[in-house]
């Protein structure tokens, strides 16, 4: 997955601002190139330090607006405050419950609210697993 530097920096900045809670958003673009990371409100109310939820109405709004611009949803991003930048078992389970085949999931690890590291992962329904994807800054 290819990301313009400004998009990668926006995801990392969002993760730092939201610390110590998880933040989330939607990746839009075309042909494996992310054009924009659209920040969403984390609607998780019980455990927002370790979970995130994108509201269905936010997802539908982004989908409509993206289509109008000739873009598609390529995947999602979220942060892991004070945890590694890799999908958790909960992330895997939630992806497996939906139609996630071929979607990119970026996980931004944020340590102490300052240090960030972003990694990209593709989910494959057939394996019900994530495979690390190159995180290319263009």
Domain count for the chain: 1
**Cis previous bond, 74, omega within 30:** no
What integer pLDDT is reported at residue 103 of this predicted model? Answer: 92
pLDDT in tens, 111-133: 999 999 999 999 988 888 899 99
CATH number of the domain where residue 110 is located: 3.40.140.10
Q: Contact, 23 vs 79, CB < 8 A?
A: yes
What integer pLDDT is reported at residue 22 of this predicted model? Answer: 98
pTM recorded for the entire structure: 0.94
What integer pLDDT is reported at residue 128 of this predicted model? Answer: 87
What's the CA gap between 114 and 85, in Å, rounded?
14
Q: Is 29 helix (H, G, I), strand (E, B) or coil?
A: strand
What integer pLDDT is reported at residue 7 of this predicted model? Answer: 97
What integer pLDDT is reported at residue 11 of this predicted model? Answer: 98
Q: Which residue has the tokens 């690890």?
A: 109
Give the pLDDT band (50/70/90) at residue 42.
very high
Q: Which helix (H) or strand (E) holds 11?
A: helix 5-18
**Segments forming the whole domain that contains residue 101:** 2-137
Q: Is the pLDDT of residue 138 over 80?
A: yes
* Per-position DSSP letters for 51-82, written without gaps between them: -----HHHHHHHHHHHHHTT-EEEEEEEEEET
What residues are paired with 78 via a beta bridge? 24, 107
pLDDT in tens, 57-103: 999 999 999 999 999 999 999 999 999 999 999 999 989 888 788 89
């Amino acid at each position: 997955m290819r990301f313009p530097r400004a998009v990668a920096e926006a995801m990392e900045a969002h993760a730092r601002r939201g610390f110590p809670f998880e933040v989330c958003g939607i990746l839009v673009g075309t042909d494996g190139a992310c054009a924009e990371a659209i920040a969403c409100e984390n609607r998780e109310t019980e455990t927002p330090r370790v979970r995130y939820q994108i509201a269905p109405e936010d997802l539908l709004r982004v989908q409509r607006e993206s289509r109008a611009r000739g873009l598609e949803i390529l995947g999602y991003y979220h942060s892991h405050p004070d945890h590694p930048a890799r999908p958790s078992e909960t992330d895997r389970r939630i992806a497996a419950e939906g139609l996630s085949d071929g979607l990119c999931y970026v996980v931004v690890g944020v340590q102490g609210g300052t240090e960030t590291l972003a990694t990209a992962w593709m989910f494959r329904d057939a394996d019900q697993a994530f495979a690390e994807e190159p995180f290319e800054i263009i």
